[in-house]
């Protein structure tokens, strides 16, 4: 059973590729997270949790959701992280989370995908050619990961050092609280008030007011709003105007991949 959350499509691409290769079911967790739906999930096959990396760790809202979600059937859990190149302490967090749930941690994989963090000047745009290369490399790696999972083997990623934990935990805490303001999001005249941004916000942070989105706090800075706006009408401070609004569907046909798969 493949479970995923994805803001701009990278993780969804990996999750659906794994599901296709393994002939397994795939669940998009967005609606469940939004509605705090903790209906138990049953699978005979191992659980594979696919998530992006935010600030060197698993996104807090995914971790909090998985923490409370009852898993039935298989006791084995794999994690697959997509990041712009540094997954930080995500594997360590995943291991702790799995042990707390009395399940068997079967390791994690880290996949380098295009960075979608376009509201930060710290991350330059990933060039289109590089985006295509990373997506292609990931497709090959997903096949290897699927092989390991099929054989109930262990996924092995790099070692996470103590100094990484010592830095990432306080930095993440500070960054999420103080460096991710939502007040800098705004819409331009291109906004038609369709409300897609509000529907895709995993933490229900965007309210429609007079047919325009209003961002509240706390924002997860996941980029779901800005990277899925059909009119590219969302901007952030003076940072995003000239940047590519990254979404994987600009590089690969997601509709085809989604077609054959179950969604709950």
Ligand X SMILES: Cc1cc2nc3c(=O)[nH]c(=O)nc-3n(C[C@H](O)[C@H](O)[C@H](O)COP(=O)(O)O)c2cc1C
CA distances from 47 to 23, 43, 54 (A): 13, 7, 22
182 binds ligand X (CB under 6 A): no
Would you state the structure tokens that stand for residue 185, as one six-digit string? Answer: 């999001």
User: Are the C-beta atoms of residues 106 and 154 closer than 8 Å to each other?
Assistant: yes
52 binds ligand X (CB under 6 A): yes
Mask of contacts with ligand X, 80-99, x by CB under 6 A? --xxxxx-x-----------
User: Are the C-beta atoms of residues 13 and 252 closer than 8 Å to each other?
Assistant: yes
End-to-end Cα distance, the chain: 12
Q: Choose which of 1, 2, 3, 7 interacts with ligand X (CB under 6 A).
A: 7
Mask of contacts with ligand X, 63-82, x by CB under 6 A? -------------------x
55 binds ligand X (CB under 6 A): yes
> DSSP code of 249?
G
115 binds ligand X (CB under 6 A): yes
Q: Across 53-195, where does the E strand assignment appear?
A: 71-73, 76-83, 104-112, 185-187
Would you state the structure tokens that stand for residue 105, as one six-digit string? Answer: 């941690």
Considering the complex, what minimum distance in angstroms separates the CB of residue 151 from ligand X? 26
The one segment of 29-37, 114-122, 140-148, 256-264 that binds ligand X by CB under 6 A: 114-122
56 binds ligand X (CB under 6 A): yes
Q: Measure the CA–CA gap between 255 and 243, rounded to whole angstroms.
A: 25
CA distances from 163 to 3, 109, 169 (A): 30, 20, 10
For ligand X, the closer of residues 127 and 153 by Cβ is 127
Q: Choose which of 1, 3, 10, 30 interacts with ligand X (CB under 6 A).
A: 10
172 binds ligand X (CB under 6 A): no
Q: Choose which of 93, 116, 187, 205 interacts with ligand X (CB under 6 A).
A: 116
* Size of site (CB under 6 A) for ligand X: 25
Q: Choose which of 89, 113, 149, 201 interacts with ligand X (CB under 6 A).
A: 113
Q: Measure the CA–CA gap between 206 and 56, rounded to whole angstroms.
A: 25
Contacting positions for ligand X (CB under 6 A): 6-12, 52-56, 82-86, 88, 113, 115-117, 221-223
């Amino acid at each position: 059973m493949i479970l995923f959350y994805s803001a701009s499509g990278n993780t969804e691409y990996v999750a659906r590729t794994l599901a296709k290769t393994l002939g397994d079911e795939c669940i998009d967790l967005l609606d469940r997270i939004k509605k705090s739906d903790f209906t138990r999930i049953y699978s005979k096959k191992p659980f594979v949790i696919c998530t992006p990396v935010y600030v060197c760790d698993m996104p807090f809202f995914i971790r909090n959701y998985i923490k409370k979600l009852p898993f039935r059937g298989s006791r084995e859990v794999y994690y697959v992280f997509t990041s712009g190149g540094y997954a930080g302490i995500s594997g360590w967090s995943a291991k702790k989370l799995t042990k707390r749930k009395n399940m068997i941690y079967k390791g994690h994989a880290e996949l380098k995908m295009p960075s979608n963090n376009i509201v930060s000047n710290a991350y330059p745009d990933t060039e289109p050619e590089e985006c295509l290369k990373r997506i292609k490399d990931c497709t090959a790696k997903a096949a290897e990961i699927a092989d390991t999972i099929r054989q109930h083997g262990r996924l092995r990623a790099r070692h996470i050092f103590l100094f990484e934990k010592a830095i990432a935990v306080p930095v993440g805490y500070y960054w999420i609280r103080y460096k991710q303001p939502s007040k800098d999001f705004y819409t331009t005249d291109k906004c038609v008030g369709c409300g897609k941004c509000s529907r895709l916000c995993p933490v229900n942070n965007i309210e429609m007011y007079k047919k325009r989105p209003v961002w509240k706090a706390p924002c997860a800075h996941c980029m779901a709003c800005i990277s899925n706006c059909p009119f590219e009408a969302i901007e952030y401070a003076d940072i995003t105007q000239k940047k590519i609004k990254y979404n994987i569907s600009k590089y690969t046909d997601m509709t085809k991949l989604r077609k054959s798969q179950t969604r709950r």
